Structure 1
């Protein structure tokens, strides 16, 4: 299996928006009005180039809350989640 591209969803500085950035250069991939918008209805997966990637999701305080893998079938079988 090839390595999935890695991304981070975090609050945008000085804004209420949430930003999805590629970890390999900090390039903004997508912007959402709220965290709920980003996580609802497949919006996060749809924002990923080719619909593939591993996304770390931060809370507003900067602590990582969870990690999601898209597509789900690419999730390592040994992961606890």
Structure 2
């Protein structure tokens, strides 16, 4: 069963960090700063979990995390 995919990125207009589900323009959650966002990802994604791409301010991918860890695909590198 596929897991939900999310992206955490900085909104250039509001300068806040938005967690958005893939295919949606609406934020699932908005954070004041990146540190707060990264700490709150597990709760924001919820109990069903998901994969989160964390982007830098310049919009390049910094890293990808899976919550909970048990949903991480076994065949992936990293």
In the superposition, the TM-score normalised over structure 1's length comes to 0.86
Over aligned residues, Cα RMSD in angstroms? 1.3
* 1:22-33 paired onto structure 2 within 5 Å: 22-33=21-32
User: Structure 2: any 5+ residue segments left out of the alignment?
Assistant: none
* 1:3-42 paired onto structure 2 within 5 Å: 3-40=2-39
Q: Whole-Å Cα distance in 1 between the matches of residues 75 and 32 of structure 2?
A: 34
Q: Which runs of 4+ in 1 moved over 3 A?
A: none
Cα distance, 1:21 vs structure 2: 0.4
Helix, strand or coil for the counterpart of 1:9? Answer: strand
Number of aligned positions between the proteins: 78
User: Structure 1: any 5+ residue segments left out of the alignment?
Assistant: none
In the superposition, the TM-score normalised over structure 2's length comes to 0.89
* 1:1-81 paired onto structure 2 within 5 Å: 2-40=1-39, 43-81=40-78
Cα distance, 1:80 vs structure 2: 2.0
